Structure 1
């Protein structure tokens, strides 16, 4: 599972969040906003690469591009169903990040009182920056920011529950259960972030779509086994 689904998004996009540099963190926030929608991962990836190709990767560059310029970039990447809404969201996030934190995500983290306050500050940057986007963003920063400790999303809970890795449906308790499982079953060459990423992709690409027959982990899936015995 880790080899097939566990590649970190930041590694795939060549974003060095582990450096802790503001410019790299903002690139990842931009990408997280794109990944946070219902659109397929490949469209979000392609759209981020359009932003990178055009050098629109900072809060000021996004504001300079303007609403029409952002819509054009989003459309070029295939983000057409959410182009207007996302262009506004990116503009608002960039404007508020500059206004409140001098354009620095590290400063945002410093001002946060704890992990929950950190999540709320990120969500407050713009309308439409919700739980899913915030979790996607903070997941990759677990080893960079001390206060980055996001809970699980619904898709992660769905996939982890199907595999019998967790029993709780509470996002906060569920992430601790998943972490405990990882600590007992670590795989060399991977970390908890990779494990979470694999669980997310499993939930998004298979569990959410009920593609049990096509899933390479169906033999380990509680839901898949229940469906099999129910048919018998």
Structure 2
């Protein structure tokens, strides 16, 4: 009996735990929002919009739903976003349930789209190339986008590393909180090695979900 109870109380090995984490929660927020992420202007811009929405103090599922509504309304690139009326953007955000911040966010999305059009010709790869491999410079440029801020920049970089290997591995403080809850290494290199061939962006998103779901760590450690 003692041996059986000891087995039940034993924590999964780190590699096993990471595999379970990825299997159960390893979907990126871009995937959830229906963004087919590639290193091309339109999906990169859509990820920027999603990152902006996710950075507010609002549930992630609402931010994802609002992003889908914006894209379904045809606002999939900075030109269309900038040309849309303020009310069109507000209405799309409202349909996604993003009502608490809809008016301010509509303004920020319009101003951000104009900035991206003006400074980068609508192509965020130019922003990346101007940073020339300097992650701090890349973050500074991203934070100039109205509404994005440091949290939004972190979200964008965590997700974009799937197609921008220059910024990989990128986890950030919040993902490391998830690693801490699971008693996993709080070191990006060690986490990547534990994940093997798995996608780093998916692992980062999964660790974020551990922070957002208060029961996630307990469930994973008990499984």
TM tier, shorter chain? Answer: 0.7 to 0.9
The farther-off stretch of 153-162 and 78-87 is 153-162
Task: Give the counterpart of 1:178 among 173, 188, 198.
Answer: 188
Contact conserved, 2:169 with 2:192, CA < 8 A, in 1?
no
Q: Aligned residue for 2:87? A: 68
Runs of 5+ unmatched residues, structure 2: 1-20
1:84 offset after TM fit, Å?
1.5
Instruction: Please say if 1:192 is aligned against 2:200.
Output: yes
Q: Structure 2 vs 1, CA of residues 150 and 178 (structure 1 numbering), >3 Å: closer, same or farther?
A: closer
Task: Give the counterpart of 2:157 among 138, 160, 173.
Answer: 138
The farther-off stretch of 35-44 and 5-14 is 5-14
Contact conserved, 1:33 with 1:129, CA < 8 A, in 2?
yes
1:129 offset after TM fit, Å?
1.2
Runs of 5+ unmatched residues, structure 1: 167-173, 221-232
Please give the per-residue CA displacement for 1:21-65, whole angstroms capped at 9, x wherever unaligned.
Answer: 101111111111112222112111211111122111111111121
Q: Distance in 1 between matches of 2:188 and 2:222?
A: 20
Q: Aligned residue for 2:107? A: 88
Q: Aligned residue for 1:54? A: 73
> Equivalent residue of 2:75, what SS?
coil
Contact conserved, 1:155 with 1:204, CA < 8 A, in 2?
no
1:178 offset after TM fit, Å?
3.0
How many pairs are equivalent? 202
Contact conserved, 2:63 with 2:96, CA < 8 A, in 1?
yes
- Higher normalized contact order (CA 8 Å, seq sep 6+, divided by chain length): 2
Task: Give the counterpart of 1:78 among 91, 97, 104.
Answer: 97
1:182 offset after TM fit, Å?
2.8
Instruction: Please say if 1:217 is aligned against 2:220.
Output: yes
RMSD of Structure 2 on Structure 1 (CA): 2.2
1:150 offset after TM fit, Å?
7.2
Q: Aligned residue for 1:14? A: 34
Please give the per-residue CA displacement for 1:182-205, whole angstroms capped at 9, x wherever unaligned.
Answer: 31x2256x3222111100111122
Moved over 4 A (4+): none
Please give the per-residue CA displacement for 1:122-169, whole angstroms capped at 9, x wherever unaligned.
Answer: 11122x312221111111222422432475444323221222223xxx
Contact conserved, 1:179 with 1:192, CA < 8 A, in 2?
no
